[in-house]
Copies of this chain bind each other. A is one copy, B any other.
Amino acid sequence: MGKNRRMKIARVEKDLSQEQLAAAVGVTRQTISMIESGRFNPSLQLCVAICRALDRTLDQLFWEEEAE
């Protein structure tokens, strides 16, 4: 569970503050903050809601290919 830079970038590209994104997906600002800073494990539903708000898919924001 590292930082989620992709999510932060997607949010900034959409010109949303953490608070605005939080309101859009129905959680608090703190929850968004902790997800971006990678120090917890959101539910699938929340991930999907974030993806829809930011016009991305799960793979684009939350999937990491493994090194080989």
Question: Measuring CB to CB, which residues of chain A are less than 8 angstroms from any residue of chain B?
Answer: 1, 41-45, 47-48, 51-52, 57-59, 62-63, 66
Contacts and interface: CB of A to CB of B under 8 A. Distances in A.
Nearest to A66: B52
A63 B52 contact: no
A59 B51 CA distance: 11
Given A44-B62, A57-B58, A58-B63, 13 more contacts: A1-B45, A41-B43, A41-B44, A41-B45, A42-B43, A43-B43, A48-B62, A48-B63, A57-B59, A57-B63, A58-B59, A58-B62, A59-B63
Contact of A58 (B1, B52, B58): B58
Contacts of A48: 62-63
